[in-house]
Amino acid sequence: MNYYTPATVDEALAVLHKYDGRARVVGGGTDLLVETRRGLRRPFDAVVDATRIGGLREITESGGYIVIGCGVTHSEIVNDPRIRARGTCLAESCGVIGGPQVRNVGTLAGNVAHALPAGDGTIGLLALGGDVQISGSDGTRWMPARDTFKGPGRSHIDRQRELLTRLRFRPTGDNEGSAFHRVMRPQGLCLPIISMAARIRLGDDGKIEGAGIGMGPVGPIPWFAEPVADALVGAPPVQEHFEHAVGVALENVQLRESKYRATREYREAMIRTWLPVILATATERAGASR
Amino acid sequence: MSRLQMTVNGATVDIDVPESRYLSEVLREDLRLTGTKVGCAEAECGICTVLVDGTPVVSCVFPAFKAAGSAVETIEGLSQDGGLHALQQAFLDHGAVQCGICTPGLIMTAKGLLDRSKATGDAVTEQDVRAALKDSYCRCTGYQSVINAILQASGQDVRPYLPETQHPGIAVGRAMPNPNALAKITGSARFTDDYSFPGMLYARTRRAGIPHARIRSIDTEAARALEGVRAVLTHADIPGRNAHGVVSIDWPVLCGNKVRYVGDAVAIVAADSERIAAEAIELIDIDYEELPAVTDAISALQANAPQVHDERPDGNLLKHIKVKKGDIEGGFAEADVIVDQTYRTPTTEHLFLEPECSIGVPAGYDPADFGGMRDECAVRGETAKHDKTTIYVGSQIPYTDRDQAAATLNVNPEQVRVVATLMGGGFGGKEDIAGQIHAALLAEATDRPVKMLYSRQESLLVHPKRHATVIRMRTGATSDGRLTAVQATLYGDGGAYASLSEKVLTRATTHATGPYAIPNVKVDCFATYTNNVPCGAFRGFGVTQSCFAVESNMDILAGKLDIDAIELRRMNALEIGSETSTGQVMRESVGLRECIDKVEREIRDERFRWRWDEGHRRFAWGLAVGYKNTGLGGGAPDKATAEVEAWQDPDRGLVAEVRISSAEMGQGLPGVLAACAAEELGIERDKVRVLLGDTDFCPDGGPTTASRQSYVSGNAVRLAAREAAEKLSVQAPRESVKVQYEYWAPQTRPLGTGGDMHVAFSFCAQAALCEIDMRTGEVAVHKVIAAHDVGRALNPLTLEGQIEGGIVMGVGYALTEHYIQEEGTPWTNVMARYKTPSITHAPRIVSHIIEDGTSSGPFGAKGVGELPSIPTSPAITNAIYRATGVRVRSLPVDQDELLRAINSGAAEVELAWGDRDAIPTIQLGGEH
């Protein structure tokens, strides 16, 4: 196996081209390499480490967005004061991935590209309405993160030929706040029972003016919960409406029982319990940012 | 091969390595910096943590070339100018080092935290430590000492936590770091995988992969033909006995006609590299006739069950163990209240963080033949010439390993030498033979040293676990709280081979009354063979299982009788003059009431409440007591031989060396044995050196099991030292003396014959403060208050480590651990699927020591290794009941089920995490 640490996007794409499907892009490699070692993935001939590409190792602000390069680790996101303040649910969601050592090398780009239905960082980014930038031989394009998911672990990004180079979101402004929560079990399964994130914007009348919700696992892909957001907009941010939003969420999700992780019923109970809590927290933060 | 440049501990590294290398491989293999350990290769356990540009990373999955151009720091780089780093010193002071395998990872993770806090100027809090070390696992310490050590190293005034104990002697009773702790905090301590011999080959085992089958044929031709393969061995190649076993010799070294569990070994390969060996075992073609499998203890005894061992006359019944005392019907007739409940406990895994490793070295091996350096003075290790077949292994029973390997090699035991290396945790899981015999066979077949290292995943699959049990327990008491009768039936799943099942489940049976005086007792236990992974010894040795049932019943009984749960236990507690279920009359050293009193005084202050609510969170205390025998007991000859050599050193005065083949697995044995010798010789402990476990140089200390080493080997060392001291007093001062002492523990009686079944018992009481989130069913253990009667605290520092680590293991038994098998195939096949408590689960522990000495113990000491993990789980489930009204009858607690019960108003939960079926109904008594 060959290991490449390209310094430019073009170099990275050239390696992918050269290996024609037999190379894999990694950020930290903490999912892909471990799974490959366990025999859960087909072996490959080359690794393209996307964390040393010039210009893609930092968090910047540009054009009204916070932009995160594909080399940025979860820890760097968690510790970034801008994201903590104005993309709180993303910092919170990246802060629970794996353990500290894994967060020190794992990247948000890897989390989103991996396309797991309950990727925590992904859920946080969805609630913020984030986009991803994809670079391929025919150029670079931005698309909403929510449109990249195809199925569990399957992405519309052609990961053998393209590179997820950047992520971005519009930071929360005045009257806006966000929050994330995840339910786990202490036993041997390191996957979330449910992860949820919310972004709330309050209008001058105190009612919810805008909302973004991310949830998973509630179906084959991480869910950008538009119906839930729609149900919240225009309503006052009170428990009664939060419970209505829970009802809308439950009508739209396909909750499953997953072996040794959670029953369908438990997942539903956790949505009923925690969705109102994170909505209330996001609202409170929105109020505090006035 | 490509050029890799980086700095490691400040030094420039510039080497050619394959690009597929991980950082841990470069450190350990290319740079021989073996202080960095590998525990799982899954990014789960964190013991391989190093710093890359100041950031902690798990080196086992960190591509080496990702570190190109970076600064890497490992444990070896921590000491500067010969002085210890503050973290190293603090780990030493706080006793935060036990087996030592995870120590480098803990320290390096902590260094990342301290360096960051130095940079930011923020003080380190306990919460910071818990967050930073969330995925840095330790199976020994229970984390409290680790937290305290890190806080101290960050510059805070945190003293080592030490319970109050008797006034110390010159050595005994003094809180001191274990003698090997220094090597463990600097990275110089060597575990088996850290050894590397010139010319060494690498071995792998081809395992059955199916739970039950007849072998039609084995074809090894393709494997043998693979370049780089030096030997492929099957049952046909075994010169001697093709079986091993600690109690019964029923476990094939290499299966020839049948496989009985997925981990059964069918063939072994030695090759030039691990990769080639791994490839070769896949090329072995085995034709099986699959057989139906039996995978639970109760089905195993049904008439039509598949038979695991064809030749056994009793079908799958391994042993029916019986305890009977008094008149059981009369006892229940006398009772005003009877509690009759059935419980279930899970199969659990030791998860010692060092996977098994053995190195076989052939007789006549000379490192010089392979270009290595030979040291004429060396007696151990890679530079020595080896006269006989030698096995390097971290094993709990070196002499038995020697004898078993010799039987298979068809040589006299004296022609085999076992060198015990440091052991990265054992907890009972390193008593059975693992790769020792295989490594020796391959070494002799290839005439080269051969290393047999198990991957974490293989370790999970192969070694014996803690028995899953189903226990029905009927407890009767009069209305004033006097216990009149206990009847119980236990089914224990022994898995495919006998291992220590008979002994373990005997202990479950004899301890099934709890530490109470009960006049009428009948207990039946059915130990069975199944096609599951074998079960054997595991800290608590069966008592952990029965204690869960006993102490749950006691709380239910207290509720029914409306008697305080503490009082009910106190009034029935064993005391001097009372008789155990097996007819042993207690004559001394029964500190149970004192333990109960101590815990009660601590929790029952003026603000004490059994339970309270804070919003949706409920808090409650739960209590349980426990006891555990010291030593083998039951009539088994229990002895240890120690050698003590003492001489005058021109600079240091009188010094001594203790030699004994007993196992140090992190429990602190060398310090305890050194203290016993030093006390008798009248010198400080650091003037005594301890050499453990080399069958050519150290006499047999017996197995390290049954909480016996401090007592049995402690006595042997003490008496040898006493004799040495006497000789020294009458001879010329310049001469050295060497004394061997064979110590026999007092004779015990077999079960069923009455009298003293055991030489001593240790006792404890534990109270757990738990929080239950009524919205989610999540359970947290905030605090455990404990009192342990250990006879005498020989070294309070390492004793406290045993207690804290044992309690946290008990937390895992209650809340996190279940080794799940599906029709004989482990679902728990990776570490990610088996969670032991992390630092975030570890409660605050307040520990009291009771020293109700036993006259036959060294300085009054009794065993303590297993005791602390025994009552923790029922203390937790009793707290859950008090908080929620839900009785948990099956472990580990499942938050999903608990929430359902809370919401539906159900009175109990009988499905644990990982259970698919309800607890079966079993009859009391019965025959099979």
Interface of B with A in 31-90 (CB under 8 A): 41-44, 46, 49, 55-58, 61-63, 65-66, 68
Q: Are strands B688-692 and B653-660 parallel, antiparallel or unpaired?
A: parallel
Tell whether pTM > 0.95. yes
Report yes or no: B475 and B468 within 8 Å, Cβ to Cβ.
no
Hey, is the C-beta of A6 within 8 angstroms of any chain B C-beta? Answer: no
**What order do you get walking across the sheet with A223-224 strand by strand?**
A176-183, A194-202, A208-216, A223-224
**Residue ranges of chain B with per-residue pLDDT less than 70:** none
Least Cα distance to B274 among B339, B220, B200 occurs for B200
Q: Are strands B760-773 and B779-789 parallel, antiparallel or unpaired?
A: antiparallel
Report yes or no: A266 and A193 within 8 Å, Cβ to Cβ.
yes
Return the residue in B62, B282, B773, B774 with the most chain A beta carbons within 10 A, the one to mutate for interface testing: B62
Hey, is the C-beta of A102 within 8 angstroms of any chain B C-beta? Answer: yes
Hey, is the C-beta of B604 within 8 angstroms of any chain A C-beta? Answer: no
Closest partner residue to B63 among A47, A183, A265, by Cβ? A47
Hey, is the C-beta of A262 within 8 angstroms of any chain B C-beta? Answer: yes
Closest partner residue to A104 among B19, B55, B136, by Cβ? B55
Report yes or no: B340 and B474 within 8 Å, Cβ to Cβ.
yes
Least Cα distance to B515 among B582, B602, B448 occurs for B582
Tokens of B599: 């815990």
Residues linked to residue B611 through DSSP beta bridges, in sequence order: B620
**A176-288 has which CATH code?**
3.30.390.50
Please state the rounded mean pLDDT for residues A36-42.
86
Tokens of B66: 């990702």
Type of residue at B673: L
CATH label, B639-744, candidates 3.40.50.1820, 2.120.10.90, 3.30.365.10, 3.30.70.260: 3.30.365.10
Residue of A nearest to B349 (CA): A188
Distances from the Cα of B23 to the Cαs of A73, A155, B215, B771, in angstroms?
A: 19, 30, 41, 41
What is the phi/psi pair of residue B917, to 5°?
A: -115, 155
Note the pLDDT of residue B843: 98
Please state the rounded mean pLDDT for residues A22-45.
90
3-state SS of B440-486 is HHHHHHHCCCEEEECCHHHHHHHCCEECCEEEEEEEEECCCCCEEEE
Note the pLDDT of residue A189: 80
Mean pLDDT (chain A) is: 96
Distance CA B435, CA A209 (A): 66
Note the pLDDT of residue B735: 82
CB pairs under 8 A between A and B: 115
Specify burial of residue B302 (Cβ count, 10 A radius: 0-12, 13-18, 19+).
exposed
Interface of A with B in 219-248 (CB under 8 A): none
DSSP B812-872: HHHHT----EETTEES--SGGG-PPP-TTTPPEEEEEEE----TTSGGG----SSGGGSSH
**In the CATH scheme, what is the homologous superfamily, with its name and number, of domain B195-291+354-424+430-462?**
Aldehyde oxidase/xanthine dehydrogenase, a/b hammerhead (3.90.1170.50)
Distance CA A26, CA A131 (A): 19
Type of residue at B109: T
| Parts of chain B belonging to CATH 3.30.365.10 | 318-349+465-632+754-909, 639-744
Interface of B with A in 836-895 (CB under 8 A): 841, 892, 894-895
* Fold of the B1-162 domain: Ubiquitin-like (UB roll) (3.10.20)
Tokens of B548: 């869960």
Cis peptide upstream of residue A217 (ω within 30 degrees of 0): yes
The distance of A102 to chain B (nearest Cα, Å) reads: 7
Please state the rounded mean pLDDT for residues A84-88.
98
What is the phi/psi pair of residue A37, to 5°?
A: -60, -35
Hey, is the C-beta of A51 within 8 angstroms of any chain B C-beta? Answer: yes
Report yes or no: B575 and B586 within 8 Å, Cβ to Cβ.
yes
Q: Is B67 helix (H, G, I), strand (E, B) or coil?
A: helix
Q: Is A252 helix (H, G, I), strand (E, B) or coil?
A: helix
- Strands in B507-582 per DSSP E: 520-528
The contacts of residue B912 (CB under 8 Å, 6+ apart) are B344, B346, B818, B888, B890, B891, B892, B893, B894, B897
Hey, is the C-beta of B816 within 8 angstroms of any chain A C-beta? Answer: yes
Distance CA A54, CA A248 (A): 44
The contacts of residue B505 (CB under 8 Å, 6+ apart) are B319, B321, B467, B490, B492, B494, B525, B527, B542
Q: Which residues of B touch A99 (CB under 8 A)?
A: 46, 134-136
Note the pLDDT of residue A190: 79
Query: Rg of chain B's alpha carbons, rounded to an integer?
Result: 27
Structural domain boundaries of chain A? 2-169, 176-288
Report yes or no: B484 and B331 within 8 Å, Cβ to Cβ.
yes
Q: Which residues of B touch A38 (CB under 8 A)?
A: 42, 457, 830
Interface contact B827-A29, CB threshold 8 A: no
Query: Buried b / exposed e across B272-290, counting CB within 10 Å, b at 16+?
Result: eeeebbebbbebbebebee
* Fold of the B318-349+465-632+754-909 domain: Aldehyde Oxidoreductase; domain 4 (3.30.365)
Interface contact A186-B841, CB threshold 8 A: yes
Distance CA B772, CA B630 (A): 36
Least Cα distance to B193 among B418, B392, B362 occurs for B392
Tell me how crowded residue A280 is: count the other CB atoms within 10 A of its CB. 17
Interface contact A1-B895, CB threshold 8 A: no
Least Cα distance to B214 among B308, B311, B306, B289 occurs for B289
Least Cα distance to B298 among B489, B535, B437, B455 occurs for B489
Query: Rg of chain A's alpha carbons, rounded to an integer?
Result: 19
CATH label, A2-169, candidates 3.40.1160.10, 3.30.1330.10, 3.40.50.150, 3.30.465.10: 3.30.465.10
Q: Is B580 helix (H, G, I), strand (E, B) or coil?
A: coil
Hey, is the C-beta of A143 within 8 angstroms of any chain B C-beta? Answer: no
Note the pLDDT of residue A1: 87
| Parts of chain B belonging to CATH 3.10.20.30 | 1-162
Q: Which residues of B touch A47 (CB under 8 A)?
A: 63
Report yes or no: B877 and B888 within 8 Å, Cβ to Cβ.
yes
